[in-house]
Amino acid sequence: MHSHELLREVFDKASPKQVAADLNLSLSMIYKWAEPAENVSGSGASNPLDRIEALLKSTNDERLVQWICQKGGGFFIRNPKSHNAHPDFLIPATNEIIQEFADLLAVVASAAADNHISPEESKKIRGRWEELKVATECFVRCCEEGNFQRLKDRPPTIHPPK
């Protein structure tokens, strides 16, 4: 789906007039965002989604996507690359997920032992949780594709000392 198509669908549910007022922009600017780029005159009205995409390509910094996902109440997990492979790597991958989960539980248990979780402990819990999500998403995608080369090619997770 192109960005202008998504915006057109969004504007079917959210009033373009309200969006213009909320963003302190002209209604015509909002409508231009929902047009294909080739239909937008030389006014420089590229839509915000295309600008975010350009910013990502320019910086190659996925923290931008992570920030947007957090603002939307979610999180970002990169999709694994697809390769062809035999499912011999399924058992080690399953073990890795179990180990990641065990590591997360160990960090949580250690942090909660004194009935108080400090900001530093919260940061460690978040880091372990992010690693577990990535490992699990990779595993699930490989299962859906019937393709486990990505699991084989994935470098082992190196954990900082606890």
pLDDT at residue 139 greater than cutoff 50: yes
The string of pLDDT tens digits covering residues 104-130 is 898 899 888 888 889 999 988 988 888
User: What residues make up the domain containing 18?
Assistant: 3-71
Please tell me whether residues 11 and 65 are part of one structural domain. Answer: yes
Please tell me whether residues 49 and 14 are part of one structural domain. Answer: yes
Please tell me whether residues 97 and 65 are part of one structural domain. Answer: no
Q: Last residue of some domain: 46, 71, 96?
A: 71
Model confidence band, residue 160 (pLDDT cutoffs 50, 70, 90): very low
Mean pLDDT of the chain: 81
Please tell me whether residues 96 and 148 are part of one structural domain. Answer: yes
Q: Last residue of some domain: 26, 45, 71?
A: 71
Please tell me whether residues 31 and 57 are part of one structural domain. Answer: yes
**Has residue 41 been placed in a domain?**
yes
**Has residue 77 been placed in a domain?**
no
- What's the pLDDT score for residue 158? 45
C-alpha to C-alpha distance for 104 and 92, rounded to whole angstroms: 18
**Has residue 161 been placed in a domain?**
no
The string of pLDDT tens digits covering residues 47-65 is 999 999 999 999 999 889 9
Please tell me whether residues 95 and 63 are part of one structural domain. Answer: no
Q: Specify the number of domains making up the chain.
A: 2
**Has residue 120 been placed in a domain?**
yes
pTM of the shown model? 0.52
**Has residue 159 been placed in a domain?**
no
